[in-house]
Structure 1
Amino acid sequence: MNQETENRTCPECGRPIFGRIDKKFCSDACRNAANNKVNSDSTNYIRNVNNILRKNRRILLELNPTGKTKTQVDKLLKKGFDMEYYTNTYTTKAGQEYRYCYDQGYLLLDDGYVLLVQKIESLT
């Protein structure tokens, strides 16, 4: 072995590294710990956004058991619905914008009500 391979240490824990010449960490645990540190900020943000989207979808699904119904916006908000988060929009020819949380959508109406709809499409 040459001097370079004998003095390699794990950047996570400082223990010596044995094995392949291109190995960077002493174990899978150290590799995972280092990668988790690098990705923690973006991972936490993504996790929080996904949690909000899932909660919004659950609320829409709960209030729309038949696939199309009308309810008050206040009912959504009281259950913790966050109007700022949705996965996509659909604008009709008349200019109405439906917002969707995955397959559950809603259309804001003028009178404090919201129309809840379910998208029925195949992904194929």
Structure 2
Amino acid sequence: MYYEKKQCLYCGQVIQGRADKKFCDDQCRNNYNNQLKAVKNNEIRNINNALKKNRSILEELLRNSEGTFKVNREKLLEEGFQFKYHTHHYVNKKGNVYVYCYDYGYLELDQSSDWFLVVRKKSG
């Protein structure tokens, strides 16, 4: 009887052992699966990084202020803020829409003036 020699799916080396074995060792199996997951999770990772950066920018603006801070769109864009990435919205009783990146957010003060009020969500 002739058996076809199987090759490792990751490195291509000839596999010794069980007939259903796909990888030559655990390292090749892990590398293969990590490579598959990296391609699938790349977009998610990029979005999460953008959300974290947005939060960090808002946090830095509020660091030395008394709870709120007024900033214009140009300054946020200079810092690398990406308006399309946010975690949620909050509408207050007056109908104002706050856009949040986790616990830091902003309120567009006037659509024609490009000014924003940066806030931090109250805990509790």
Q: By the TM > 0.5 criterion, same fold?
A: yes
For 1:36-75, what aligned pairs fall within 5 Å after superposition? 36-65=34-63, 66=65, 67-75=67-75
TM-score by length of 2: 0.77
What is the identity, as a one-letter code, of the residue corresponding to 1:120?
K
Aligned twin of 2:119: 117
Alpha-carbon RMSD = 2.5
What is the identity, as a one-letter code, of the residue corresponding to 1:121?
S
Number of corresponding residues? 118
Question: Unaligned regions of 5+ residues in structure 1, if any?
Answer: none
Contact 2:53 2:81 in 1 (8 A): yes
Q: Secondary structure at the match of 2:8?
A: coil
Question: Unaligned regions of 5+ residues in structure 2, if any?
Answer: none
Deviation at 1:36, TM superposition (A): 2.5
For 1:1-124, what aligned pairs fall within 5 Å after superposition? 9-14=7-12, 15-18=14-17, 24-65=22-63, 66=65, 67-110=67-110, 111-121=113-123
Q: Secondary structure at the match of 1:109?
A: strand
Contact 1:106 1:114 in 2 (8 A): yes
What is the identity, as a one-letter code, of the residue corresponding to 1:37?
Q
Contact 1:108 1:114 in 2 (8 A): yes
Q: Secondary structure at the match of 1:81?
A: coil
Q: Taking every aligned residue pair, what percent have the same amino acid on both sides?
A: 45
Q: Secondary structure at the match of 2:43?
A: helix
Deviation at 1:25, TM superposition (A): 2.6
Q: 1:22 to 1:78 in 2, by over 3 A?
A: same
Partner Cα distance (2:92, 2:25) in 1 = 55
What is the identity, as a one-letter code, of the residue corresponding to 1:16?
I
TM-score by length of 1: 0.77
Q: Which is worse superposed, 60-69 or 21-30? A: 21-30
1:45-93 alpha-carbon deviations (Å, 9 max, x no partner): 1221122111111111111123322222221111111100011111223
Partner Cα distance (1:56, 1:35) in 2 = 31
